[in-house]
A and B are shown apart, each in its own frame.
Chain A
């Protein structure tokens, strides 16, 4: 359940940036191939944010599709799952997106 530790990171980074202001919304970017489950993050967020400036905030998760370039034929490959082959048959793929774990923005309550 690594989502618990990851959520602690999220809450700690956002709380530090927000100083003592109340946070209304947090927007994350989570790659579809990152081995982090958005549902688990949502669950952990409610628990971890309790008693912090993030308590009650909405967690918005933007999922990023997996994309790669085939090292053999140069084609762009959509990665719908982590183990995929290019249409040319090659599995030697250079991943260019899908592993993101980023905090994009936060919305603070108006003064």
Chain B
């Protein structure tokens, strides 16, 4: 939904470019509407029912039970096709794209702020921020020194590949950079929607339950890395780190785990090493 112009009816998402302040709407069909305000959709459906029924592409076994037509199509085909396009776009530019997923409040944005500041001058980073409302997070990222766009999904509970595509158009990330896609805080729906990323990174904080990997197994199975954040708070909590790591491995034996605190900086070096290795992988895979 667009807070400035209010033209939210039928829009799936709004993309705000923090550098220029421009915004773009994406409608339910995935079409971009670049802020023209005449939504003059006069849908004149003149169905002149002359019943010719040209079943050219369809085997016309018309009988009393109707005609059964095999479709054999993937429900997610549109999103998946765009995700493949995004992935190829990243790959050709040797860009490492990561999809950061977690519940709200795990510290995704704080981890990104610190990462941007610590890697300044070493690795160019830009960020696509997903939230239902506000451009607060993209503003925080911009204040840390990285280009960012905010995607507001309105009532939507996850980012989709078409939104990322519009975000990339605004950001124009440079070759060899890292694109961080911070998904809407939600451990359920984002697992289903491929955005074209190289890996999903799940963030869990020690102020949440240690059994979250068991409660939301889809997300932890889909992720390559889990960041266990806010470990500076452990002395004040009953959080069982050992049990949490065991649950994560139980759900996904191949998941890598890094314990860190974006506040004190503990463990952040391991995260940067992981990013370096993944960036090297993105370069190596670019033209395979």
Contacts and interface: CB of A to CB of B under 8 A. Distances in A.
Contacts of B250: 83, 91
Contacts of A17: 69, 71, 73
Contacts of B63: 110
Interface residues of B, number: 42
A2 B192 contact: yes
Contacts of B58: 108
Contact of B75 (A10, A20, A21, A25): A10
Nearest to B45: A20
B75 A91 contact: no
A36 to B, nearest CB: 8
Interface in A19-63: 20-21, 24-25, 28, 34-36
B69 A105 contact: yes
A82 B214 CA distance: 10
A87 interface: no
Nearest to B52: A111
A108 B214 contact: no
Residues of A contacting B: mostly: mixed
B74 A108 contact: no
B77 A13 contact: yes
Nearest to A92: B253
A21 B73 CA distance: 19
Contacts of A102: 72-75
A110 B66 contact: yes
A12 to B, nearest CB: 8
B237 interface: no
Nearest to B47: A20
Given A18-B69, A35-B192, A110-B66, 14 more contacts: A1-B189, A6-B75, A8-B28, A17-B69, A35-B188, A35-B191, A82-B218, A82-B251, A83-B214, A83-B251, A102-B73, A105-B70, A110-B62, A111-B51
Interface of B: 28-29, 47, 51, 53, 58, 62-79, 156-158, 160, 188-189, 191-193, 214, 217-218, 221, 249-251, 253-254
